[in-house]
Amino acid sequence: MFNIFLKYINRILQSNLFKLTSIYTVSNIINVSIPFLLLPVLTRYLTPYDYGILSMYATLYSFFIQLAAFSTFSFPFNIWFKEDILKIKKINFNVMLLNFLSFFVILFILYILKDLIFFYSKLTFIWLFIMAINILFDSAIGFVTNIYRMEDKVWNFVYFNIFRSFLVFF
């Protein structure tokens, strides 16, 4: 009975599903732990005032990232296995174009609200501009990582996902 149990355990451990699940799990743990590991560095070099500005930046970033192409970087999940490759390429191009156009919309909104944002958060327009660029690249990288996930390019997904966590953090 114990041998049968070991046989099933070995079959599970050698399966492709287990390997992919392990890689995705470890990459997500790394992705989540990067900001946590950098927290002592931030608390050592940032004053409470600077940390408050960083928190305001993160709050505004999390608000405006929702407007970035209306989260269309997860759209390929809906069509990937249903459509032919030519239609998928057209849709991918349109998603990236929408992402690029949303960058200008976000930049325009930030420009209009720059005085109000500065009054409440002390973020200058250069930081708002950097935020808009960061949102553009985060959306594009999120889109590419989703494509890598659907194409079973696990290591490309891992590298881009970890790079994305550094990009969001900085």
Q: According to the model, what pLDDT value does residue 169 have?
A: 61
> Are the C-beta atoms of 161 and 142 separated by less than 8 Å?
no
CA 11 to chain centroid, in Å, comes to 34
3-state secondary structure 118-132: HHHHCCCHHHHHHHH
Is residue 137 within 8 A of residue 163, CB to CB? The reply is no
Query: What is the mean predicted confidence (pLDDT) over 134-146?
Result: 84
> What are the pLDDT digits (tens) for 66-100?
888 676 767 777 777 777 888 888 888 888 888 88
Q: What is the pLDDT of residue 69?
A: 66
Interval 118-129 mean pLDDT:
91
pLDDT digit string, tens, across residues 10-65: 776 677 777 888 888 888 888 888 888 888 887 888 888 888 888 899 899 888 88
Dist. CA 72–CA 154, nearest whole Å = 21
Instruction: Pull the structure tokens for residue 135.
Output: 């949102």
Question: For residue 168, what pLDDT is reported?
Answer: 64
pLDDT (tens digit per residue) in 51-64: 888 889 989 988 88
Q: What is the DSSP letter of 73?
A: G
Instruction: Report residue 17 as tokens.
Output: 């599903």
Question: What band does 129 get if pLDDT is binned at 50, 70 and 90?
Answer: very high
Q: SS3 of 40, please?
A: helix
